[in-house]
Amino acid sequence: MISGKPAVGDNDGIAAVTALYDIGRSKLDGRGVDDYVGWLNGTLRLPIPFIIFLDPAVDPSRIQGKASDRIVVLPKEELRPFIWLERVEAICRDGTNISAKNDLTYRLPSYALIQFSKFDMIRQAAALNPLLEGLLWIDAGISRFFKDDLDLYQMNRALLRAKLDQAPLTVNITPVLRQALNGSTVSKKFAGTCERLVTGETFLVRASAAAEIQSNVYDYVEREWIGNDVWDNEQVALGELILNGYRNVVILDDTGQQAKFLTLSFPKVTFVERLIRLLPFRRGAA
């Protein structure tokens, strides 16, 4: 169900996509739906139209969006990765090629399935909103890393547009993946480690390529992971795709000058503020 008419993005045809689902996480790490509703409402203060995929169990009236935001109420079972649920549960329970067994990825199989659903939600958002040219995934809870009201930030449209023109997908990679790309790591297989290869908090997709990107990621997971009884999260999958020659992507390091389009200006950089630098917003005028 869509609340209101489909979003059309800002005047550059760009919108954000996010989601909120109750997967029972609070029983494992204390982060409940009530926490995420508050964080989501803070994230929606960012000055960009949002398409919000919402668990039917969450009352849409609790979501305090802008006039330009749209809610898509969709059961998680209708998201494409959930067809893997039974196999993934078995791998998480019985898998022998898992070195990070205590990670939430394996303790709560629905967690990684929701993470992989980002690509399906972006595909659906593009199909629902044919006027959009770019879709920016932003994690619902990212506002908890900010000290300020996110309404104070403005989108760096010129740089987002430049990245959309360069490639269908733009991601930030971590030093671990950079070392692997430079040949410092022999193995191109990280599944089972939960190693942070790509930053999953935000990434940019060209709307016309959303279905192809979804297919590329899911085909890889089904062929290389599920078919071989291994499992991990979406950050590892994207990293392995890049390591194995995926070319339809702009690779940005999460440190260094190349990542400026995903950088916020702060007087000093703390650990939390390094996370914030993943977002293409800046304080003050655009």
pLDDT tens for 109-120 read 999 999 999 999
Q: State CA 69 to chain mean position distance.
A: 18
Question: What percent of the chain is predicted at pLDDT more than 90?
Answer: 60
> Pick from 232, 251, 253, 254: which is nearest to 242 by CA?
251
User: What's the angle, vertex CA 113, arms to CA 280 and CA 178, rounded to 5?
Assistant: 50
Q: For position 158, which CATH number holds?
A: 3.90.550
Q: What is the mean pLDDT of residues 205-230?
A: 96
Task: Please check the confidence at residue 186 and state whether its pLDDT lies above 70.
Answer: no
Task: Please check the confidence at residue 285 and state whether its pLDDT lies above 60.
Answer: no
Question: What percent of the chain is predicted at pLDDT more than 70?
Answer: 84
- pLDDT at position 185: 67
Q: What is the mean pLDDT of residues 161-189?
A: 87
Pairing of strands 50-54, 169-173: unpaired
Query: pTM, whole model, 2 decimals?
Result: 0.86
The total domain count for the chain is 1
- pLDDT at position 220: 97
Q: State CA 33 to chain mean position distance.
A: 18
Residues 6+ apart with CB under 8 A from 173: 181, 197, 198, 199, 239, 242, 251, 252, 253, 254
66: domain range? 2-283
